[in-house]
Each structure stands twice: as structure tokens, then as C-alpha cells.
Copies of this chain bind each other. A is one copy, B any other.
Amino acid sequence: MPATAFDIATSRPDAAPEFSPRQQVVLQHALTLLVEGGEKALTTAGLARTASCSKESLYKWFGDRDGLLAAVVAYQASQVQFPSEAGATADAETFRAHVTAFVEALLGVLFSESSLALNRLSIGQSNTNSNRLGQLLLVRGKNMISARARTMLESGRRHGLLKFDDAEDAYQVLYGLAIRDVHIRLLLGDAANAAEQDLNSQAETAVERFYQLFGA
């Protein structure tokens, strides 16, 4: 029994499921279908036709439809990469620039069509299946990012650039200042306005306010 849904859900978050190239191509097709038409558009027959594979292979690789959905989530999560923080706490200037870059990358990920599609999918399934998808997205997505953010903020605190008691709390404020209600509006199908599409200036404004609250 190869990489089935069960393995994905229970494996360590940092252990990549290592889909074969062929499987990754299929998962990319599945993701495209999801982005275009939502969950209803991702049928096993439709995916088999689009990806030129047989339904038999889909069931062999992913177990069942839920396993396929979980695999899509895991696959896209593995595609997301954040800029590394190679010693970016040199001085106040570069640290703040680094924080801004982090926020901009966060906005870029959360507002991307693929992320929105998978969030929509997971949210739609969150009260069924013992909520495997939602947990998967939280563990492989949000928690990874939040961990990265906390270490970054704590590094700033150690260098006397920031002041806060709880890094998680500080990160949540930064998140709120940056995202506001844009994420939920996009999830509901609303369109971002011009200002909200300028991720760089959005990030700078958020960081500016964050420093007003937590700057040393």
C-alpha cells in the first residue's frame, strides 16, 4: 500500500509524501480543476479525462476521493516556499525589511488562487470526514508559517528591536494588521480592490502599525 490518504494524514508534517512525477502532474491538474470550478468540478472521471490517466490509477494512488483531496492539499503545501531568513537580523533596517518581505510573501500565498481554492475546499469539508482536510491545511500550512514567524519575531526581540511578551500573540497581531478582512472576502468570492492588490504597500502599512505597537 503506497502513499495513501491515511499515510498523509498521520505522517510527520515535515516528511514529504514524495509523489511520483506522474502523480504530481495529475495533482497539478486536479488543483487547476479546483481553482477553476471548486470542489464540484473535481470529479474522478473529469480528472482522469483532463490528466489522461485512468480512474483505476487514481484509486490505486490515492485510495478514494478523500485521499485525492488530501493529496492535493499536501502537494500544494509542499510547493509553497518562503524566502529564507539567512542572518537577516543584522541591523534594524534590514530586519524591518525582512519582516516586511515576510508579510508580503504571506499575503502573496494567502491571496493566491490556489491557496484560496484549497481553503475553500477544506472549509467546505470542515464538518465532515472528522475534518481531515482542515487539520491538514492547518498543520501543513498555517502552523508552519506561524512557526517561521515566531522565530523571526523572537530574533528581533533578542536584538532589542521589538518588545512583546508572547511571540504567538505578537504574530497574531501582525497577521491581523496585514490580512484584515481581505482573506474572508476573497474566500467569499469578492474581488480585491486596487489598494489591496498592491501587496508591497499593504505589507509596509501593516509593519508600520506593528512597529507602533511592538517596536522597542
Contacts and interface: CB of A to CB of B under 8 A. Distances in A.
A21 interface: no
Interface stretch (A60-68, A80-88, A119-127): A119-127
A147 interface: no
A177 B169 CA distance: 11
Please give the count of copies of this chain that the complex contains. Answer: 2
A167 interface: no
A38 B185 contact: no
Contact of A138 (B38, B122, B190): B190
A127 B175 contact: no
Interface residues of A, number: 41
A188 interface: yes
A175 B180 contact: yes
26 contacts: A36-B127, A38-B127, A39-B124, A40-B128, A41-B127, A119-B123, A119-B184, A122-B188, A123-B188, A126-B188, A131-B188, A131-B189, A134-B188, A135-B188, A135-B189, A138-B190, A142-B181, A142-B185, A172-B180, A173-B180, A175-B180, A175-B181, A176-B177, A177-B177, A179-B181, A209-B213
A210 to B, nearest CB: 10
Interface of A: 36-41, 117, 119-120, 122-128, 131, 134-135, 137-138, 142, 172-173, 175-181, 183-185, 187-190, 209, 212-213
A135 to B, nearest CB: 7
Contacts of A131: 188-189
A33 to B, nearest CB: 11
A212 B210 CA distance: 11
Nearest to A36: B127
A109 to B, nearest CB: 13
Contacts of A137: 188
A124 B176 contact: no
Given A119-B188, A135-B188, A135-B190, 20 more contacts: A37-B128, A38-B128, A39-B124, A41-B127, A119-B184, A120-B123, A126-B189, A127-B189, A131-B188, A134-B190, A138-B185, A138-B190, A142-B181, A173-B209, A175-B180, A176-B176, A176-B178, A177-B177, A183-B184, A212-B212
